[in-house]
Amino acid sequence: MEALATILHADLDAFYASVEQMLDPSLRGKPVAVGGGVVLAASYEAKAFGVRGGMPGRKARELCPQLIFVSGHFEDYQRLGDAAIRVLGDFTPLVERISIDEAFADVAGTEHLFGPAAEIAKAIRRRVPRAQLSATLECRAEPRTARYPAKSPVARSITLGTHSVLVQ
């Protein structure tokens, strides 16, 4: 019998670059990279050209000549990451943060309060501080498998076992 999905994996999408686009509206819809000598993060617009985190800045510029490099606002990343992760804590005390923009939350004990894991994930996504930020939330029966779908190119979905639910 398949275990019920009660572990949420929350991952803020293209986080550093999304924060930069949120802070400076003139960057929205444009290819943005945080960093310089090395790309720390890339917007989805930059990723469309093959720009990736960890890539040398020179290679990124070759792939995307119109790429806009920004130095970053790390205090804002921390503030917004903290705010987003705090939303998980409103649904369960069992939150394990694994990075500035990523965490696991076990909602097994709170489904009687907030509904099934998929509904909790939808509610969390709606509450993430997201003028231009969005979150991918994946639901799985265990943390080891929850993380993999969130790294796939299909963002903004909630995966329950083999079923996906689009989160608007």
- How far apart CA 6 and CA 110 sit, in angstroms, is 10
List the catalytic residue out of 2, 20, 75, 102.
102
Q: What backbone torsions phi and psi does residue 135 show, to the nearest 5 degrees?
A: -130, 140
- How far apart CA 167 and CA 137 sit, in angstroms, is 9
- How far apart CA 86 and CA 106 sit, in angstroms, is 14
- How far apart CA 73 and CA 94 sit, in angstroms, is 29
Nearest C-alpha neighbor of 162 from the set 1, 5, 8, 10: 5
Interhelix angle 74-89/15-23, nearest 10 degrees: 110
| Residue 102 appears among annotated catalytic residues | yes
- Which residues carry out catalysis? 102
